Structure 1
Amino acid sequence: MNNSRRDFIRSASTLVAAAAMPSALHGLPKMVAPSDRLNVAAIGINGMGWADLNALLKIPGVQCVALCDVDKNVLDKRAAELAQRNMKVKTYGDYRQLLENKDIDAVVIGTPDHWHCLQMTEACAAGKDVYVEKPIGNSIAECRAMVAAQERHQRVVQVGQWQRSQQHFKDAIDFVYSGKLGQVRLVKAWAYMGWMKSIPKQPDGTPPAGVDYAMWLGPAKTRPFNPNRFHFNFRWYWDYAGGLMTDWGVHLLDYALLGMKAQHPISIMAAGGKFAYPDDAAETPDTLTTVYQFDGFNIQWEHAIGIDGGPYSRDHGIAFIGNNGTLVLDRGGWEVIPEKEKDTPKMEAVPRRARVDNGLDLHAKNFVEVVKSRNFADLNAPIQAGANVAINAQMGNIAFKTGKKIYWDAASDRFKDNAANQLLAAEYHNGYKLPK
């Protein structure tokens, strides 16, 4: 969308919305003028990238014009699925060629974590708005670079932490802010993933036909192809991701930090390992406990693969534990459990209030609205928020890797430990460079 189209949208979108029938997505028009259309593309379309794209395509005026994936089998499958919906798209195996397409207004980035930084920063430099999957970066240095790119190029960047668009999460945090829980001294966030099982070791082999493996590796260390490292399971290898700490942690720690209005901790310590499946193919810990010390409270992260029985009988959640009561929040709803003094509740209980909406759809809608309005403050999950939680998650992994209680120096934006500072940036390979 060029500047003249953006200017037209700012003045015309309100008139179009007023004249059209309201859609199921809270007021976006069903009939959209050609000048009000948003051309989107998606890079990495096997999993969440495809889900994100389809959420965007529910919005009147949004149309997909291009797809990119290093796996031609996935690329052809998705292009055929869109063709069945009367959407003919250009296809690319190299995202850089897609970014040269002047017809593209915004891109979805759903690639493995180790690619997010390069693709998001280059998309911003190419004048595209971006919807990028979480966690935004695979290191603290990448998170910093991504924030800098958004601020330098003034592009709309929404991070795929879609819970920030879901009403019951907002209501729960409003309750925390009300002060009714009393002093909150401990916040627990956890992910107990019983459905995740051991990953059997497999021998190295040849990449599947149609897969550009060198492009898939990108800045990661060159290794022989192994099916365990490809597609979904890349999450369990340090070269590409950070395990459950960054995969689920950024969703749940995000709300722990948001509820406490917290940024950087004073100290971090972590303990865990491959306790459930010590001999399987994964690298990242299947069991981990991390404690973040802030001024006046702690945040505790826990995860366990192969177990469903998490705290408060929930396999995932966030608990704000106050002197008067505890608010327990998960993707299904929230409730408040009072503390008691001599069998007398210290506050009124709040029965479970269930989810009432679709967070992903609302998150996509919010992104499109801000792309059109350019009111950056209206974005529900801006890159700065995504960076805050991703950096905290990376801190947890760094504490685990060093085996130490590490301290953060906010003034210098570094740890007070040399070994921890060696892990601030992911090492880049194959000629790729960390964006300045």
Structure 2
Amino acid sequence: EVQVRAVCDVDRHHYRANPWGQGPALGREPARKMVESFYAQRAARERYQGCLVFEDYRALCQREDIDAVVVATPDHWHYHQVMAALAHGKDVYCEKPVTHTFMEGKILYREVKRRKAIFQTGSQQRSTANFHRAVLLLRNGHVGRLKRVEVGLPKGYTEPGASAEISPVPSNLNYDLWSGPAPLLPYMRARHHRFWRGHRAYGGGNIMDWIGHHNDIAHWGAGMDASGPEEVEAIGWTQSSTDVYDTPVDYEIRCVYPGGVDWVIASQLPMGTRWIGEEGWVAVDRGKLTASDERWTRLDYDPGPVVIPASTDHIDNFIQGIKSRRTCVASAETAHRSITPGHLGFASHALGRRLRFDARTERVLDDSQAHALLDKTYRKPWKR
């Protein structure tokens, strides 16, 4: 049904074991061997040589024998790689956050719609039973009129996770291509591979890593998949004591959503999503669903007549979407909308003021300086 046809990585072989410190080494050569070994075992052969290897994603996207791609690169690369894949008629599975900047996301999701491409974001909680059930409770009105939403995310990067010494670029890494549209900064292990998220040139810290999970679910439950905040203000952001990372450690983003709903996204809150209404509350995190009425959490409890699309396997939902041409559970627009408060939060923090936002036009109101901060310039020769 599906075959892995190619792998692409600017790193021939990582300088260490996989980014989490366990298991086999990664990079394009180990990945190729992993794929070929899998298919050789399935075919009961000693050897299988069907996996192509690329260093440059542009060459991979030009292949006519590839139908879909998975983009699992640092955030600063998502926009360019997804747009290249779309331009060559590919369907795309892209990790969250879907883009590094707000303007990239706005352009990207509209391009997905224009091309009628199938797109799935790696917000896999939408394919997990307890999150789906929590959303059913919300959509069926169990909490009554929604008053407040609380989204808890992890604290950010504090101390360097590896050596912070500037060092020679490993010979197995094409560092210029790894940097791509981002500034070509001096190489150090503490802000590359697993640790790149802590530096704003490449990512948005844990706030942007996790907002596409728990705020995505918050939007889903509140019926805000095509909407967004009306007001956003960054409060109490703290920074790492090291200059290796420049994304927030502690942070709070206070929002007001349509209907006057108070909406707080913060590192000080318990991990997960909590919706509070006039008649009760529902809270959900990975592996745990709680509510003001314990009966709502029971598997034999009928949440009501309102139904929402269900998926039990996020990857399979993407594959079935390719075959049927039906929209996946985590579309490009929902992914962009769910991380918009994070983008606006960075702009609010930089300017030290509350922002007003029109979710319909997707513009910051009466603040051209803030709106300009939702975009970025690229290192030459990269361009939009």
TM, length-normalised to structure 1:
0.75
Question: What's 1:326 paired with?
Answer: 281
Question: What's 1:362 paired with?
Answer: 313
Q: Quick one: which of 248, 267, 272 aligns to 1:317?
A: 272
* Alpha-carbon distance change, 179 to 361 in structure 1, aligned in 2, over 3 angstroms: closer
Q: Quick one: which of 326, 331, 342 aligns to 1:375?
A: 326
How far apart, CA to CA, are the structure 2 residues paired with 1:233 and 1:364? 26
Question: What's 1:63 paired with?
Answer: 3
Q: Quick one: which of 384, 388, 398 aligns to 2:333?
A: 384
CA displacement, residues 211-233 of structure 1 (integer Å, 9 cap, x when unaligned) = 00010111111222121221121
- Counterpart amino acid of residue 74 in structure 2: P
Q: Aligned runs of 1:90-101 on 2, under 5 Å?
A: 90-101=52-63
Q: Quick one: which of 130, 134, 141 aligns to 2:103?
A: 141
* Alpha-carbon distance change, 401 to 171 in structure 1, aligned in 2, over 3 angstroms: same
Q: Aligned runs of 1:288-367 on 2, under 5 Å?
A: 288-294=251-257, 295-303=259-267, 310-311=269-270, 316-338=271-293, 349-351=295-297, 362-367=313-318
Checking the alignment, whether the CA contact within 8 Å between 1:163 and 1:360 is kept in structure 2 is no
How far apart, CA to CA, are the structure 2 residues paired with 1:80 and 1:410? 46
3-state SS, counterpart of residue 98 of structure 2: coil
Q: Aligned runs of 1:31-430 on 2, under 5 Å?
A: 61-73=1-13, 74-85=27-38, 86=40, 88=49, 89-192=51-154, 198-199=159-160, 202-262=164-224, 263-274=227-238, 277-279=240-242, 281-294=244-257, 295-303=259-267, 310-311=269-270, 316-338=271-293, 349-351=295-297, 362-376=313-327, 379-410=328-359, 412-415=361-364, 416-430=366-380
Checking the alignment, whether the CA contact within 8 Å between 1:138 and 1:426 is kept in structure 2 is no
3-state SS, counterpart of residue 256 of structure 1: helix
How far apart, CA to CA, are the structure 2 residues paired with 1:393 and 1:261? 19
3-state SS, counterpart of residue 236 of structure 2: strand
How far apart, CA to CA, are the structure 2 residues paired with 1:82 and 1:232? 22
Consecutive unaligned residues of structure 1, counting only runs of 5 or more, are 1-60, 305-309, 339-347, 354-358
CA displacement, residues 139-196 of structure 1 (integer Å, 9 cap, x when unaligned) = 11100121122122221111111111222211111101222212221110112359x6
How far apart, CA to CA, are the structure 1 residues paired with 2:189 and 2:75? 17
- Counterpart amino acid of residue 373 in structure 1: S
Checking the alignment, whether the CA contact within 8 Å between 2:311 and 2:317 is kept in structure 1 is no
Shift of 1:322: 1.8
Checking the alignment, whether the CA contact within 8 Å between 1:125 and 1:149 is kept in structure 2 is no
CA displacement, residues 398-436 of structure 1 (integer Å, 9 cap, x when unaligned) = 2222221111134653212122112121211121112xx
CA displacement, residues 92-141 of structure 1 (integer Å, 9 cap, x when unaligned) = 00011111111111100001011111110110110111111111111111
* Alpha-carbon distance change, 391 to 126 in structure 1, aligned in 2, over 3 angstroms: same
3-state SS, counterpart of residue 92 of structure 2: strand
Q: Aligned runs of 1:4-19 on 2, under 5 Å?
A: none
- Counterpart amino acid of residue 188 in structure 2: N
How far apart, CA to CA, are the structure 1 residues paired with 2:360 and 2:333? 18
Instruction: Count how many residue pairs are aligned between Structure 1 and Structure 2.
Output: 348
* Alpha-carbon distance change, 111 to 411 in structure 1, aligned in 2, over 3 angstroms: closer
Checking the alignment, whether the CA contact within 8 Å between 1:187 and 1:300 is kept in structure 2 is yes
Checking the alignment, whether the CA contact within 8 Å between 1:320 and 1:328 is kept in structure 2 is yes
Shift of 1:257: 1.4
Checking the alignment, whether the CA contact within 8 Å between 1:317 and 1:331 is kept in structure 2 is yes
How far apart, CA to CA, are the structure 2 residues paired with 1:186 and 1:428? 38
How far apart, CA to CA, are the structure 2 residues paired with 1:360 and 1:94? 33
* Alpha-carbon distance change, 107 to 361 in structure 1, aligned in 2, over 3 angstroms: farther
* Alpha-carbon distance change, 221 to 251 in structure 1, aligned in 2, over 3 angstroms: same
3-state SS, counterpart of residue 278 of structure 1: coil
How far apart, CA to CA, are the structure 2 residues paired with 1:282 and 1:396? 18
Consecutive unaligned residues of structure 2, counting only runs of 5 or more, are 14-26, 41-47, 300-309
Checking the alignment, whether the CA contact within 8 Å between 2:128 and 2:312 is kept in structure 1 is no
3-state SS, counterpart of residue 419 of structure 1: helix
* Alpha-carbon distance change, 167 to 361 in structure 1, aligned in 2, over 3 angstroms: closer
- Counterpart amino acid of residue 111 in structure 2: A
How far apart, CA to CA, are the structure 2 residues paired with 1:105 and 1:210? 29
* Alpha-carbon distance change, 62 to 267 in structure 1, aligned in 2, over 3 angstroms: same
Checking the alignment, whether the CA contact within 8 Å between 1:414 and 1:421 is kept in structure 2 is yes
* Alpha-carbon distance change, 193 to 266 in structure 1, aligned in 2, over 3 angstroms: closer
* Alpha-carbon distance change, 363 to 410 in structure 1, aligned in 2, over 3 angstroms: closer
How far apart, CA to CA, are the structure 2 residues paired with 1:64 and 1:411? 39
Checking the alignment, whether the CA contact within 8 Å between 1:137 and 1:390 is kept in structure 2 is no
Question: What's 1:39 paired with?
Answer: none
- Counterpart amino acid of residue 328 in structure 1: A
* Alpha-carbon distance change, 430 to 144 in structure 1, aligned in 2, over 3 angstroms: same
| Greater mean deviation of Cα atoms: 394-403 or 210-219 | 394-403
Task: Give the % identical residues.
Answer: 29
Checking the alignment, whether the CA contact within 8 Å between 1:110 and 1:133 is kept in structure 2 is yes
